[in-house]
């Protein structure tokens, strides 16, 4: 337990000098027990007393950011780290060329707080969504990866809370507490973003979430890593290094699922893998349609005055903003962004949005490019297994609830649908209760080291040089 | 004459007046308008026909205030003209046409305060003002007469009282004219409508009949009749001996205005200022039998005169300095003791005037278009009368320290002795229609109230502790400074006053607000606007949309 006599630097690995800061010590002293209570109540269920082979960040350099050992999750050392400073000057927006900020300018306090709280809220949200998944893990390897993701989301929460505590005074402390009070899916106090209130009931959900939704996180963090507010830029930069693993879990998870299905299709009459408890590719495609479309919503509206303010005030840039080959114009005052939408008659029309207002769409486009790269790798599995099937990403107009495309329904090709047509046909594209029920039947827990459920292949290699049959979780 | 860059000074005295002659003869005083057309405050216009600018009004204000402190024996004051056949043509139109919007607004506010002070002197100080209009009283000239408790007009078949702003200038009689005609003089609204659109005004018997003036006298008898009336009103007078209202003499170095008890630190670059008020010594509460012996150096008077000057400096000389932190240094107990004796002797003419002066300065803060944040830290002395400054502020931040060294206090003066323009006390204004709350708070008068309790009682806005304090305050100020100055002015003007209106509050909340809107409209100040084209050969051109 943390109290006044404890050396905070021992309890919380950090490079922000907690032991020199009365402000941080006071805030952490109040918040830490609440975080622990939250972790016990809403963190991974049933496995809190087990040893898990986890990676912990001790320092930000190459030698320390990934140290592996058996740890019980509640004893995990959630650290606070800032990546080394990349730049002394602001490199985009109206403040371009000025010094970056070491404290929050009063003028931007509310916007920055909102950006940080919105990002922070997703971290515990996802832990809550995944609370029960350990029970149906297809292997110890996967179970360990789930818990690794969970503790790192917990660390990301710490990273964001650090910013709130250090730079936002009492408001920041109240917001920090709010992050533990809101609860995924709760009727009264849900998580801020809808996607983080959607239940994650099976492992295909989890893999898709890690693949698509965590990838939104990567792009949001990357945009914040450009911020003129240096502590935010440095915190999110370091979070990105950990986020990469979550995307890996998602992409390879879906990849291993479809490889197993492809293998079984060749061995099964009529290619019907439901007879052997594997997941048909059509269902995988529906899961992809769902998680991809709700993740696109996370970027916010394509035409957004908030986005314009954030960019203009140098609070949030584009992904890889400093790459001036990709983004030659650091100001974006006079350019425009074209987007193809559907009008009320279902015709495609091109809308021009002033570039700054379109920053959400710009960020989303880099995300889409990235997801297509993963899609190509998945489809390579079919080439290798000599299967004709190819997975696809739906149109960005499909199943949208936020932004310019939310006005009308569209099919996966992006063609206009009336409300009636949508109701009639949506089950072709989105998982139905029957699909979900079927996937659930496949989710049989496998607890023996090196063994895997029948619906998924083993990975190519284990964690950090350990063999695949290593005892990743000691049950 | 000052150029735009030179700072305006608000200190003057009778032997330095350019434009008015102050005459005192026993109980009767005369403020004679003798406006020198070649001595405007700024270059570029002539003060013809007793028309006035801020320079004239600074003298007028000084005279009104000086009569109250230096000549308590005076019971009637006649405002008259040194010109024959002309009382006053009002505010100088060319001055208005050439002034920035900011200056116009500030000028009108100052003028409004002076007019209200004339009425206050009549009501509270026993100095009754009489306007002797020996000729035309137009626009601001008539508005000055309206501030008096009675108006005498010469009946020479040509001299009228008039408010020609609407037909001539496309603006309003905005220094109380519209309000006083109906509110104070009770002129019927339809007649007032006629009066305010007839440029040449109303004269003779009809002026009396409509209630625009009280008396008309034939030319030959005008002086005698007025004098008779002055004598009648003056009565036998009294033998009170006034004090000498000595200069407060600030030293100015860079952006720092340093007075004896008040320091105003301006930071133009960050558009903010810090106002430091030093509290009284314990000795300030020792009052002789005749309190007037304390004179102008008494803390209870001097600090408030200094504070007034500091606020005027901010208003006129630092238009972009929008956010003011107010801090104080001193002993809470000394303020409480001083307030106690002020209250105990409030019926003595001098103490009464001191209290009225304090109330006037606080009212000025209420209507000053700047953000005020009071910062209460250990060693500050926001008690009683000084606590009113905290209540007048838009927000108060109080440091929550572990030792319990930080406190505020209330005194007997918080119970209504320093009312706002709408006559509520600032506590009543803060807890509107919650008299029980107000009473419960007032029961704590004399006690030192520590931070948490002050917060629980609703007396301060936020109570950051020592760890958060510096950041909280910095961010709060930076945040405020970044907001639209116009929106803040509107926000503050609306939130600072709740509940009832009085004639005075209506002048600021309704008349000034409309006037300031018109002052920024092309129909008044555009290239072809009425104010711009006054005196030019071309007629104004209006955008005819009724907005």
**Same domain for B259 and B117?**
no
Segment A331-355 shows an average pLDDT of: 92
Query: If you count residue pairs, one on A and one on B, with CB atoms under 8 Å apart, how many are there?
Result: 36
Single residue among B475, B491, B507 that ends a domain in this structure: B491
Q: From the CB of residue B182, how many other CB atoms can be counted at a distance below 10 Å?
A: 16
Q: What is the pLDDT of residues A384-399, one digit of tens each?
A: 999 999 999 999 999 9
Domains held by chain A: number? 1
Residue B99 included in any domain: yes
Q: CB distance B474–A103 less than 8 Å?
A: yes
**Same domain for B230 and B324?**
no
pLDDT at A5: 57
In a 10 Å sphere around its CB, with 0-12 CB exposed, 13-18 middle and 19+ buried, how is residue B359 labelled?
A: buried
Single residue among B234, B269, B300 that ends a domain in this structure: B234
B464 has a chain A CB within 8 A of its CB:
yes
Q: What is the 3-state secondary structure (H, E, C) of B319-371?
A: CCCCEEEEEEECCHHHHHHHHHHHHHCCCCHHHHHHHHHHHHHHHHHHCCCCE
Please give the residue of chain B at the shortest CA–CA distance from A104. Answer: B475
- Cβ contacts (< 8 Å) between B482 and chain A: which residues? 105-107
- Cβ contacts (< 8 Å) between A30 and chain B: which residues? none
Residue B268 included in any domain: yes
B228 has a chain A CB within 8 A of its CB:
no
| Alpha helices, H only, B150-188 | 177-183
Residue A2 included in any domain: no
Give Dmax over CA atoms of chain A in angstroms.
Answer: 69
Nearest to A105 among B462, B476, B478 (CB): B478
A333 has a pLDDT exceeding 90:
yes
Q: CB distance B468–A170 less than 8 Å?
A: yes
Residue B6 included in any domain: no
- Cβ contacts (< 8 Å) between A103 and chain B: which residues? 471, 474
Q: What is the DSSP secondary structure assignment for residue B167, as one 8-state letter?
A: I
Residue B404 included in any domain: yes
- Cβ contacts (< 8 Å) between B473 and chain A: which residues? none
**Same domain for B36 and B142?**
yes
- A62 confidence band (pLDDT: 50, 70, 90): confident
**Same domain for B168 and B256?**
no
Residue A464 included in any domain: yes
B401 has a chain A CB within 8 A of its CB:
no
Domains held by chain B: number? 2
What is the CATH classification number for the domain harbouring B202?
Answer: 3.90.226.10
Residue A297 included in any domain: yes
What is the CATH classification number for the domain harbouring A218?
Answer: 1.10.620.20
- Cβ contacts (< 8 Å) between A165 and chain B: which residues? none
Pair of tokens at residue B247: 């200069």
- Cβ contacts (< 8 Å) between B464 and chain A: which residues? 169-170
Domain span at residue A301?
8-474
| Nearest in space to B217 (alpha carbons), one of B139, B148, B141, B130 | B130
Helix (H) or strand (E) holding B137: strand B136-138
DSSP code per residue over A328-344? --SS-SS-EEEEEEE-T
Q: CB distance B475–A23 less than 8 Å?
A: no
Give bridge partners of residue A67 from the DSSP assignment. A56
Pair of tokens at residue A156: 């990301």
**Same domain for B118 and B212?**
yes
Q: CB distance A23–B476 less than 8 Å?
A: no
A2 has a pLDDT exceeding 50:
no
A4 has a pLDDT exceeding 80:
no
In tens digits, what is the pLDDT along chain B, a chain of 547 residues? 444 457 899 999 999 999 999 999 999 999 999 999 999 998 889 999 999 999 999 999 999 999 999 999 999 999 999 999 999 999 998 898 888 999 999 999 999 999 999 999 999 999 999 999 999 999 999 999 999 999 999 999 999 999 999 999 999 999 999 999 999 999 999 999 999 999 999 999 999 999 999 999 999 999 999 999 999 999 887 888 999 999 998 999 989 999 999 999 999 999 999 999 999 999 999 999 999 999 999 999 999 999 999 999 999 999 999 999 999 999 999 999 999 999 999 999 999 999 999 999 999 999 999 999 999 999 999 999 999 999 999 999 999 988 878 999 999 999 999 999 999 999 999 999 999 999 999 999 999 999 999 999 999 999 999 989 999 999 999 999 999 999 999 999 999 999 999 999 999 999 999 999 999 999 999 999 998 888 888 889 999 999 8
- Cβ contacts (< 8 Å) between B481 and chain A: which residues? 106-107
Pair of tokens at residue B159: 């001299």
Interface test with A, best of B465, B478, B483, B488 (most A CBs within 10 A): B478
**Same domain for B139 and B275?**
no
B484 has a chain A CB within 8 A of its CB:
no
Q: CB distance A104–B481 less than 8 Å?
A: no
Pair B317, B7: CB distance under 8 Å: yes
Residue A427 included in any domain: yes
Q: CB distance A169–B464 less than 8 Å?
A: yes
pLDDT at B5: 56
Segment A15-33 shows an average pLDDT of: 91
pLDDT at B533: 87
**Same domain for B208 and B306?**
no
A342 has a pLDDT exceeding 90:
no
Q: CB distance A110–B468 less than 8 Å?
A: no
Q: CB distance A106–B479 less than 8 Å?
A: yes
For chain A, counts of helices (H) and of strands (E)? 13, 7
Q: What is the pLDDT of residues A287-299, one digit of tens each?
A: 999 999 999 999 9
The Cβ-side half-sphere exposure at B139, using a 13 Å CA radius, reads: 25
Pair of tokens at residue B398: 């109080």
CA distance linking residue A258 with residue A287, whole number of Å: 12
In chain A, the percentage of residues whose pLDDT exceeds 90 is 84
CA distance linking residue A209 with residue A200, whole number of Å: 8
Interface test with B, best of A169, A174, A229, A309 (most B CBs within 10 A): A169
The Cβ-side half-sphere exposure at B373, using a 13 Å CA radius, reads: 23
Residue B8 included in any domain: no
What Cα–Cα distance (Å) separates residue B64 from each residue in A139, B61, B166, B362? 92, 5, 29, 18
Q: Is the dihedral of CA A86, A91, A94, A98 positive or negative?
A: positive
pLDDT at A1: 43
The CA angle A87-A89-A94, to the nearest 5 degrees, is 135
Nearest to B477 among A22, A106, A167 (CB): A106
| Nearest in space to B207 (alpha carbons), one of B149, B147, B142, B115 | B142
Question: In 3-state terms, what secondary structure has residue A233?
Answer: helix
A335 has a pLDDT exceeding 70:
yes
In a 10 Å sphere around its CB, with 0-12 CB exposed, 13-18 middle and 19+ buried, how is residue A178 labelled?
A: middle
Nearest to A23 among B467, B477, B481 (CB): B467
- The predicted complex's ipTM stands at 0.78
**Same domain for B261 and B222?**
no
The Cβ-side half-sphere exposure at A310, using a 13 Å CA radius, reads: 26
Nearest to B475 among A23, A26, A104 (CB): A104
A425 contacts: CB under 8 Å, gap ≥ 6: A411, A417
How many Å lie between the alpha carbon of A73 and the closest alpha carbon of chain B?
32
Residue A3 included in any domain: no
A241 has a pLDDT exceeding 60:
yes
CA distance linking residue B389 with residue B366, whole number of Å: 9
Q: CB distance B481–A105 less than 8 Å?
A: no
- Cβ contacts (< 8 Å) between B271 and chain A: which residues? none
Q: CB distance A110–B479 less than 8 Å?
A: yes
**Same domain for B226 and B275?**
no
**Same domain for B360 and B454?**
yes
How many Å lie between the alpha carbon of A183 and the closest alpha carbon of chain B?
29
Q: What is the 3-state secondary structure (H, E, C) of B186-227?
A: CCCHHHHHHHHHCCCCEEHHHHHHCCCCCEEEEHHHHHHHHH
Q: CB distance B481–A167 less than 8 Å?
A: no
Q: What is the DSSP secondary structure assignment for residue B44, as one 8-state letter?
A: S
Q: Which residue is it, tokens 């600018």? A: B53
Q: What is the DSSP secondary structure assignment for residue A83, as one 8-state letter?
A: P
Write the Ramachandran bin of B22: left for phi over 0, alpha for psi from -120 to 50, otherwise beta: beta
Residue A1 included in any domain: no
β-strand pairing of B136-138 with B86-88: parallel
Residue A326, φ and ψ in degrees, nearest 5: -75, -45
A426 has a pLDDT exceeding 60:
yes
- Cβ contacts (< 8 Å) between A104 and chain B: which residues? 475
pLDDT at A157: 96
Give bridge partners of residue B216 from the DSSP assignment. B153
Segment A408-435 shows an average pLDDT of: 95
Burial annotation A19-47 (CB, 10 A radius, 16+ → b, else e): eebebbbbbbeebbeebeebbeebbbeeb
Q: What is the pLDDT of residues A316-330, one digit of tens each?
A: 999 999 899 999 999
pLDDT at A6: 64
Q: What is the pLDDT of residues A348-364, one digit of tens each?
A: 899 999 999 999 999 99
**Same domain for B77 and B137?**
yes
Residue B59 included in any domain: yes
**Same domain for B225 and B309?**
no
Interface test with B, best of A101, A112, A170, A176 (most B CBs within 10 A): A170
pLDDT at A198: 86
Segment A165-180 shows an average pLDDT of: 93
Domain span at residue B291?
251-491
pLDDT at B4: 47
């Amino acid at each position: 337990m943390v109290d006044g006599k404890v050396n905070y630097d021992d309890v919380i690995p950090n490079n922000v000098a907690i032991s020199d800061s009365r402000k941080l010590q006071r805030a952490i002293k109040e918040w830490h027990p609440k975080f622990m209570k939250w972790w016990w109540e809403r963190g991974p269920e049933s496995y809190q007393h087990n040893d898990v082979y986890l990676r912990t960040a001790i320092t930000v350099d190459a030698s320390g950011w990934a140290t592996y050992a058996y740890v019980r999750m509640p004893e995990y050392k959630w650290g606070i780290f800032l990546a080394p400073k990349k730049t002394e000057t602001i490199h985009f927006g109206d403040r371009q060329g000025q010094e970056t900020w070491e404290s929050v300018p009063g003028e931007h306090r509310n916007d920055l707080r909102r950006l940080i709280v919105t990002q922070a809220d997703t971290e515990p949200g996802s832990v809550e969504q995944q609370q029960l998944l350990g029970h149906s893990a297809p292997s110890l390897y996967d179970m360990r990866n789930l818990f690794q993701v969970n503790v790192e989301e917990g660390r990301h929460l710490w990273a964001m809370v650090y910013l709130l505590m250090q730079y936002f005074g009492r408001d920041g402390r109240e917001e920090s507490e709010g992050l533990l009070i809101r609860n995924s899916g709760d009727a009264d106090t849900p998580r801020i973003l809808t996607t983080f209130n959607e239940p994650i009931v099976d492992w295909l959900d989890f893999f898709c979430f890690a693949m698509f939704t965590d990838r939104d996180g990567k792009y949001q963090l990357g945009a914040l890593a450009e911020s003129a507010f240096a502590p935010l830029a440095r915190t999110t930069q370091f979070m990105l290094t950990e986020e990469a693993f979550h995307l890996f879990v998602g992409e390879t998870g879906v990849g291993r699922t479809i490889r197993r299905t492809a293998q079984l299709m060749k061995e099964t009459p009529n290619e019907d893998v439901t007879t052997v408890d594997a997941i048909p590719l059509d269902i995988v495609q529906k899961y992809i349609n769902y998680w991809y479309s709700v993740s696109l919503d996370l970027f916010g509206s394509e035409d957004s005055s908030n986005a314009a303010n954030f960019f203009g005030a140098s609070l949030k840039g584009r992904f890889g903003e400093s790459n001036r080959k990709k983004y030659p114009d650091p100001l974006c005052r006079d350019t425009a962004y074209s987007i193809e939408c559907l009008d009320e008659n279902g015709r495609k029309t091109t809308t021009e949005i002033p570039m700054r207002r379109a920053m959400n769409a710009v960020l989303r486009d880099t995300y889409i490019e990235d997801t297509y790269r993963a899609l190509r790798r998945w489809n390579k599995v079919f080439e290798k297994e000599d299967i004709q099937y190819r997975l696809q990403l739906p149109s960005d107009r499909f199943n949208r609830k936020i932004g310019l495309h939310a006005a009308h329904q569209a099919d996966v090709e992006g063609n206009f649908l009336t409300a009636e047509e949508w109701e009639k046909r949506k089950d072709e594209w989105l998982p139905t209760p029957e699909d979900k029920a079927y996937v659930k039947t496949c989710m049989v827990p496998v607890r023996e080291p090196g063994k895997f459920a029948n619906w998924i292949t083993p990975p190519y290699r284990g964690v950090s040089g350990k063999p695949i049959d290593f005892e990743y979780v000691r049950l | 004459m000052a150029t735009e860059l030179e700072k305006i000074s608000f200190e003057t005295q009778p032997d330095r007046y350019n434009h008015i002659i102050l005459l005192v003869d026993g109980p009767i005083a005369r403020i004679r308008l003798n406006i020198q057309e070649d001595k405007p405050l700024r270059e570029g216009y002539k003060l013809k026909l007793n028309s006035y600018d801020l320079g004239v009004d600074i003298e007028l204000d000084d005279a009104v205030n000086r009569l109250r402190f230096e000549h308590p024996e005076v019971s009637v004051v006649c405002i008259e003209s040194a010109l024959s056949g002309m009382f006053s043509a009002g505010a100088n139109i060319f001055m208005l046409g050439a002034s920035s919007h900011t200056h116009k607004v500030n000028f009108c506010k100052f003028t409004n305060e002076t007019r209200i002070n004339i009425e206050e002197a009549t009501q509270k100080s026993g100095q009754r003002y009489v306007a002797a209009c020996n000729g035309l009283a137009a626009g601001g000239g008539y508005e000055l007469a309206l501030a008096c408790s009675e108006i005498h007009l010469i009946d020479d078949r040509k001299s009228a009282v008039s408010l020609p702003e609407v037909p001539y200038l496309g603006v309003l009689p905005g220094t109380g004219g519209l309000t006083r005609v109906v509110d104070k003089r009770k002129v019927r609204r339809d007649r007032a409508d006629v009066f305010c659109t007839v440029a040449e005004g109303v004269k003779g018997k009809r002026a009396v009949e409509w209630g625009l003036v009280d008396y008309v006298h034939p030319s030959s008898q005008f002086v005698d009749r007025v004098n008779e009336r002055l004598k009648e009103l003056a009565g036998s007078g009294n033998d009170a001996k006034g004090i000498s209202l000595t200069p407060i003499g600030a030293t100015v170095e860079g952006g720092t205005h340093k007075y004896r008890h008040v320091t105003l630190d301006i930071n133009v670059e960050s558009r903010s200022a810090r106002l430091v008020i030093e509290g009284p010594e314990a000795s300030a509460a020792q009052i002789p039998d005749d309190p007037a012996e304390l004179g102008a150096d008494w803390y209870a008077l001097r600090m408030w005169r200094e504070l007034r000057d500091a606020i005027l400096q901010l208003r006129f000389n630092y238009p972009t300095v929008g956010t003011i932190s107010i801090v104080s240094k001193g002993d809470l107990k000394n303020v409480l003791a001083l307030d106690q004796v002020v209250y105990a002797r409030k019926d003595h003419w001098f103490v009464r005037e001191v209290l009225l002066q304090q109330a006037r300065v606080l009212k000025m803060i209420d209507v000053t278009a700047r953000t005020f944040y009071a910062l209460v830290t250990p060693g500050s002395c926001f008690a009683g009368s000084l606590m009113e400054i905290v209540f007048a502020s838009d927000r108060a931040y109080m440091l929550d320290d572990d030792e319990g060294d930080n406190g505020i206090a209330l005194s007997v003066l918080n119970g209504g002795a320093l009312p706002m323009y709408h006559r509520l006390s600032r506590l009543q204004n803060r807890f509107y229609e919650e008299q029980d709350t107000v009473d419960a708070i007032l029961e704590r008068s004399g006690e030192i109230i520590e931070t948490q309790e002050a917060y629980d009682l609703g007396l301060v806005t936020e109570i950051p502790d020592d760890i958060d304090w510096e950041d909280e305050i910095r961010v709060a100020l930076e945040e405020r400074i970044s907001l639209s100055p116009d929106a803040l002015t509107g926000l503050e003007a609306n939130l600072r006053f709740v509940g009832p209106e009085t004639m005075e509050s209506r002048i600021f909340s309704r008349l000034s607000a409309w006037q300031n809107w018109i002052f920024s409209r092309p129909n008044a100040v555009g290239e072809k606007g009425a104010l711009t084209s006054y005196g030019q050969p071309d007629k104004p051109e209006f955008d005819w949309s009724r907005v």
